[in-house]
Amino acid sequence: MTDALNLTQAECEQRASVVHDPVYAIGVDLTHAADPTATSFTSHTRLTFEATGASTWLDLVADSIESATLNGQPIDPATYDGARLPLEPLLPHNVVEVTARCAFRNTGDGLHRFTDPQDANTYLYTHFEPTDARRMFACFEQPDLKAHFEVTVTAPTPWQVRSNQPAVADQQQGEVTVTRFGQTPLMSTYLVALAAGPYATTSDRHVIVRADGSRQEIELGLLCRQTMREYLDEQDIFTVTKQGLDFFDAHFGVAYPWGKYEQVFVPEYNIGAMENPGLVSWNENFLYRGGATQTQRGQRAEVILHEMSHMWFGDLATMQWWDGLWLKESFADLMGYQVAQAATRYPDGWVQLALGRKQWAYTEDQMPTTHPIVATIPDLEAARQNFDGISYAKGAATLKQLSTYVGTDRFFAGARSYFAEHAYGSTTLDDLLTAMEGASGEDLREWARAWWQTSGPSHLTPVVTRLSDGSISALSIEQHGVDHVTGQSILRPHRFTVSLYAVLGGDLECVSTFPVTLTEQRLAIPEAIGLAADLIVVNAADETYAVTRLDAGSLETAERWLARIEPDLTRAVTWSTLWGMVRDGALSAATFADVFATQAVAEVNPSILTVLVQFGAEAVGTYTPAAHRSQQAARLVRICLDRVAQAVPGSDERLTWVRGVAGLAAMSDTCADEVAALATSQDLPTDLRWRLANSLAATGSWSVADLDAQLAGDDTMTGRTAYAQAVASRPGRAVKEQVWKSLTDGSRLSNDHRRALLAGYRQPFSAADTQADFPAYLDHLEDWWNTLGQTDAERMIMGLFPLVDIADGDPATHPVLTGARTWLLEHEDAPAALYRTVQQALAIAERSITAQTAY
């Protein structure tokens, strides 16, 4: 990737000092978009702005510029370098007009084009975050240069065309229609959105009625491909959307600011969803083919509310630069879970945050690539890498701790003050702290420094002494932490709950709960003295963000009684603690499998069970040595199959246990006939049957002919992608060689096809099949970085890093680990984002070997 594509914070700050009050009129001509031979489209931008300097530049990534003028004078096309168009000399008031040919994309960014193999319909949609608006129109591509946008689209007349604002004019011209959309309120370039194609549509309306008698009507809409229409669960999606609009209206103090609220589900999307004002884009994997469990719908509800909260956190009040990414993503992550818990029929928001989402944060926060929540983002490449578990899940967890620290009512009062002060503006950490301090009456500067400006997790450990009768003679909580960036010790202020449980009368009961405020390294809990406590759970209500541990006695109790812990949230926290111990090499994956075998089978909360079956597969596939993997997988597959047989047909419980089968059956073929019966069962969702087929392919139990038969019953885009992954998942060196060739020979792959091949390459968890490619992998790293886009390059680096096994060497001598470390030592001058990506791939492999050592 060229240096011109990268944007630095320093140069964007300088541009912001020159450019003021931009206004855009954007025209996009999609007349020939359905023609597969058409590789580009015409984009026209008319931009007016004020200037207080002599020169600046426009961002544009185009195949060619057909014409460009500044204040009526031609701009020399030779000055365009493929990413930047210089603008000089500037006047106090300026008008720029640029007509360019921009490429249709198949990588999920810019203007993505997709043709449905089922009906040959062509669909287009945009994804611009963080800086890909320049792939569709010329612009000042940075979040603080907010502007008004007016979009006009020329497209085939039968198509549906949508943008951020409602259409205000349509004019049919032969076989095309020119649609002009209303001008947007002030917003950032990355939030401009467009969807065009023969989308299936449905609509609704929501009326917000406030206590003061005022009303607001909001038009709602849903769009998806024609061939996905039967899976569009409009009643549930609209219901959650309305519940969210009511909640945010009541708690944020600023009326929904973007007019309409439409949501479009699109194919080959790189992420889960994107908060484009008035036109939220969604990965269509959230349209569950063949039915969904209550937990899946709850997860979708959380994402609906995450994206909706962005209409305020991020879209209305926007971070000044990408070092403030957390200002929007952390809040949105928290709101997704909190509002789902408070306002919808899905009650497990806090459970899913504790046991599911936060694992992402704990994993990434213990890597050498971790960073403070308020990160240093010198340029665009660094910005792209910080859409991670730190900016999202850790940020959300620390905001939950802040809400616990100051009180929920004061927390929302601070949010209302923040929006009132900074609506349609750009914000920094100081702006948020000022609002929260004003609402809470607390000085939060030191709190924020400890939580948001340092890296690495806190570690909270119970230190307990028990008498011979089992009662506690001393209990304290110890805190330690190391800032992974500076290497310095860090102590943070924590407010959380400690719960004590005892086995009484043949059952496990909670005997006491203590609120704890911990600011130092160690805090004694004298109230616990004399109590019988077989199990001590730190952070029992998941109020703070910390890696926790069980003492030896508590671990022994959990192994026998974990399923009896109440409430559900504390049980989820206990499972999270066990999983963290496995991930960190403090608990054998074999022990975790034993606990899974006895306690997960008794789990009654569907959200917890959904995560546990994922943990079971990861414990065997990643943290169990290959020498023991097949035997352990066979044991757990048998348990899952027995639970499937006992569950009510069609029930959520049965579907969840089938997912457990699918995750584990890729590592053992001992139950292949039963797995195959499930894979061909028409009473299971289509996508779940593909997961089972993939596992059968990974063990060699199904041939390509078997997969061909499966594809014949689902010859769709999703089915073809699943088929590609399953074919790539087959065992053997020859298969992996072919996958490697397909990924690296320069073939033009869509983002979904690339992801499928990469996923297949890493199955069936055979290190021997992938390690032969390691020398070529190291040789290709810089080439991938220089020739692929950053997103695809990172996928290749992470996905083609070889699997590792303890049989090939311990963490200090393993040939793959030592080879990667040597590459890092020899390439310290590599682009920082490339270097960090290799570091992260290495850290994941090191963690796997460390955990296998504990086995």
Residue recorded with tokens 């992420």: 271
Cβ–Cβ under 8 Å, residues 557 and 501: yes
Q: What is the pLDDT of residue 1?
A: 40
**What does the DSSP 8-state code read for residue 532?**
B
Query: SS3 for 615?
Result: helix
SS3 505: coil
Cβ–Cβ under 8 Å, residues 692 and 665: yes
Give the whole-angstrom CA distance, residue 528 versus residue 773: 57
- Dihedrals phi, psi of 659, to nearest 5 degrees: -60, -35
Question: Is the four-CA dihedral 321, 327, 328, 329 of positive or negative sign?
Answer: positive
* Ordered strands of the 279-283 beta sheet: 200-209, 215-224, 261-266, 279-283, 273-274
Helix-strand-coil split of the chain, %, nearest 5: 45, 25, 30
Helix (H, G, I), strand (E, B) or coil at 170: strand
Q: Is the preceding peptide bond at 130 cis, omega within 30 degrees of 0?
A: yes
CA 73 to chain centre: 45
DSSP H or E stretch at residue 652: helix 652-664
Instruction: Please say whether the beta carbons of 546 and 539 come within 8 A.
Output: yes
Rounded to 5°, the CA angle 572-493-436 comes to: 95
Cβ(498)–Cβ(513) under 8 Å?
yes
The model's pLDDT over 403-421, given as tens digits with 9 standing for 90+, comes to 999 999 999 999 999 999 9
CB half-sphere exposure, 368, CA atoms < 13 A? 15
Angle at 852 (CA atoms; ends 848, 855), nearest 5 degrees: 150
Tokens at 286, concatenated: 């959230």
pLDDT tens string 492-550: 999 999 999 999 999 999 999 999 999 999 999 999 999 999 999 999 999 999 999 99
Tokens of 668: 């053992």
758-794 core/surface letters (b: 16 or more CB in 10 A; e: else):
bbbbbbbbbbbbbbebbeebbebbeebbeebbbbbbb
Average pLDDT over residues 681-685: 93
Is pLDDT of 183 > 70? yes
| CB of 314 closer than 8 Å to CB of 328 | yes
In percent, how much of the chain has pLDDT > 90? Answer: 96
Tokens for 513?
A: 């709960």
The predicted-structure confidence for 789-811, as pLDDT tens digits, reads as follows 889 999 999 999 999 999 999 99
Measured in whole angstroms, how far is the alpha carbon of residue 487 from the centre of its chain?
28
CB atoms within 10 A of CB 715: 11
Confidence check: pLDDT of 762 > 50: yes
Dist. CA 426–CA 429, nearest whole Å: 11
Mean pLDDT over 188-217 rounds to 97
Report the pLDDT averaged over residues 440-447. Answer: 96
| pLDDT of 299 over the 50 cut | yes
Share of the chain above pLDDT 70, in %: 100
Three-class SS state of 29? strand
What pLDDT score does 3 carry? 72
What does R_g of the chain's alpha carbons equal in angstroms?
Answer: 27
Residue with tokens 């049919």: 172
Q: Is residue 365 classed as helix, strand or coil in its secondary structure?
A: helix
Q: For 201-456, give the CATH class.
A: mainly alpha
Residue limits of CATH 1.10.390.10 in the chain? 201-456
DSSP 219-273: EEEEEE-GGGGGG--HHHHHHHHHHHHHHHHHHHSS---SS-EEEEEESS-SSSE
| pLDDT confidence of residue 206 | 98
CA 207 to chain centroid, in Å, comes to: 31
CATH number of 1-197: 2.60.40.1730
**pLDDT (0 to 100) of residue 366:** 96
Q: What is the DSSP code (8-state) at residue 527?
A: G
Confidence of residue 2 (pLDDT cuts 50, 70, 90): low
Choose among 98, 92, 27, 112: nearest CA to 59: 98
CA distances to 223, 291, 681 from 230, in Å: 12, 11, 20
The amino acid occupying position 781 is: L
Catalytic residue from among 141, 307, 364, 653:
307
pTM: 0.97
To the nearest 10°, report the CA torsion of 167, 170, 174, 175.
Answer: 20
Residue 672 CA to residue 700 CA, distance in Å, equals 10
Q: Give me the mean pLDDT over the 343-357 stretch.
A: 97
Nearest alpha-carbon partner for 185 in 317, 313, 13: 317
Query: 500 - beta bridge partners?
Result: 512, 536
User: Hey, is 681 helix, strand or coil?
Assistant: coil
Task: Please indicate whether residue 559 is annotated as part of the active site.
Answer: no
What phi-psi label fits residue 542: left (phi over 0), alpha (psi between -120 and 50 degrees) or beta? left
Rounded CA-CA distance 27/192 in Å is 13
User: Is 854 exposed, middle or buried, given 0-12, 13-18 or 19+ CB atoms closer than 10 A?
Assistant: middle
Signed CA dihedral, 161, 164, 170, 174: sign only: negative
What angle (nearest 5°) sits at the alpha carbon of residue 107, between those of residues 103 and 112?
55
The partner residues of 463 in beta bridges, in order of sequence, read: 476
**Contact between 190 and 132 (Cβ < 8 Å):** yes
> What is the total residue count of the chain?
855
Q: What pLDDT is stored for residue 305 in this prediction?
A: 98
DSSP string, 555-598: HHHHHHHGGG-SSHHHHHHHHHHHHHHHHTTSS-HHHHHHHHHH
Strand partners, 84: 59
Angle between helices 606-621 and 294-309 (to 10 degrees): 100
The Cα–Cα gap between 470 and 456 comes to: 35
Residues 793, 783: Cα–Cα separation, whole Å: 9
Q: Which two tokens stand for residue 488?
A: 């310095």
- Alpha-carbon distance 572 to 604, whole Å? 12
Query: What is the SS3 string spanning 711-745?
Result: HHCCCCHHHHHHHHHHHHHCCCHHHHHHHHHHHHC
387 Cβ contact list (under 8 Å, min separation 6): 130, 271, 325, 329
d(CA 200, CA 194): 16
Contact assessment for residue 574 and residue 609, using Cβ atoms and an 8 Å cutoff: no
Paired residues of 178 in beta bridges: 154, 171
Q: Is 602 helix (H, G, I), strand (E, B) or coil?
A: helix
Q: Domain 459-554 - what CATH class?
A: mainly beta
Residues of the chain with CATH 2.60.40.1730: 1-197
* SS3 per residue for 800-842: CCCCCCHHHCCCCCCHHHHHHHHHHHHCCCCCHHHHHHHHHHH
Q: What is the overall mean pLDDT for the chain?
A: 96
Question: Do the Cβ atoms of 314 and 275 come closer than 8 Å?
Answer: yes
Report DSSP state, residue 137.
S
- Give the other-Cβ count within 10 Å of 694's Cβ: 29
